[in-house]
Amino acid sequence: MNISLSKQVALVTGASSGLGYACAETLAAAGAWVAINYHSHAEPAEALAARIREQGGQAIALAGDVSSESDVKRLVEQTVEAFGALDILVANSGLQKDAAIADMSLEDWNTVISTNLTGQFLCAREALRQFRRQGPRPWLSRAHGKIIHMSSVHQRIPWAGHANYAASKGGIDLLMQTLAQELGSERIRINAIAPGAIATAINAENTQGEAAKRLLELIPYGRIGEPQDVANAVLWLASDLSDYVHGTTLFIDGGMSLYPEFRNNG
Ligand code: NAI
Ligand code: BGC
């Protein structure tokens, strides 16, 4: 079975690299018209958009900082200007600024919370406003808009040395559930994905060499994830195949959240 998102409009944030890039590419391959947001690296986003267009799809690259209210408003406006509507938001942008708590600067705390949590709020709010403005599009999807938040296993697993990051992802969990409770009656469908260790720029130091061996001990399924593992789940959550899935976090983690330290102990 092929999953088609033909003519549905998707905005993917933080899509010049890693998971966002794979999501944008995968949604476009399923026929979605894709707005590819980038923050600091225009080139990969522009190149991906050009490649999608060459292959007969529709895509644009849009600069913007998800922690800026005006940028997020503009991102949604530009998406709608280009493609006429918005059906799918993949709120993916995120970053780490790691430090032991005694050494964590307020600036690093604020940067992570602003991008990873406030950014999710701003993107979801602007998407919701657009879903309401445009009304239902039943010829494309049963839902009147879909939001997919990119969380992490660290919404559940505490992570020493990463208090700002874990707090931001824990926040996404209740943000997502609350929005799902609040907006479900409007048929706006809201879910999250909690990836485990997926090899991207964010964890490059931990997914190679000796560090990768240590990391694998935390993954019962025995391999480090690939961006496509997450993009496949995003595709499903964006499609009507998951139309009755609402307010859920899908863990895509090879079992990392199963307390693997207890395999031979406890
Ligand atoms: P990445 O570093 O390749 O991608 C993060 C993206 O977010 C980058 O493209 C970056 O430019 C963008 N970004 C950062 N600040 C931004 C801002 N203010 N405005 C707009 N975009 C901004 O890393 P990855 O792994 O692709 O991360 C994507 C998301 O997945 C993040 O939310 C991360 O927390 C989450 N995640 C990643 C996991 C992994 O193992 N790779 C596991 C669990 C969650
Ligand atoms: C982090 C990665 C880490 C993974 C598993 C993600 O949320 O961004 O750096 O490898 O969780 O711990």
Q: Which domain holds residue 22?
A: 9-256
Question: Does the beta carbon of 257 sit less than 6 angstroms from any atom of ligand 2?
Answer: no
Is 262 a domain residue?
no
Report the share of the chain in percent with pLDDT over 70. 100
Q: How far apart are CA 114 and CA 65, in angstroms?
A: 10
User: Is 237's pLDDT higher than 80?
Assistant: yes
Is 266 a domain residue?
no
Is 252 a domain residue?
yes
Is 265 a domain residue?
no
Atom of ligand 1 at shortest range from CA of 16: 9
CATH number at residue 155: 3.40.50.720
Which residues are part of the catalytic machinery? 165
Q: What is the pTM of this model?
A: 0.98
Count of domains observed in the chain: 1
> Ligand 1: which residues within 6 Å by Cβ?
13-14, 16-20, 39-40, 65-67, 92-95, 115, 150, 152, 195, 197-198, 200-203
In this predicted model, what pLDDT tens digit does every residue of 96-108 receive, in sequence order? Answer: 999 999 999 999 9
Is 193 a domain residue?
yes
The pLDDT of residue 265 is 82
**Please, which pLDDT band fits residue 157 given cuts at 50, 70 and 90?**
very high
Atom of ligand 2 at shortest range from CA of 96: 8
User: Is 266's pLDDT higher than 80?
Assistant: no
Which residue owns the Cα nearest ligand 1 atom 19?
A: 65
**C-alpha 165 – ligand 2 centre gap (Å):** 9
How far is Cα of residue 243 from the mean position of the Cα atoms in its chain?
Answer: 18
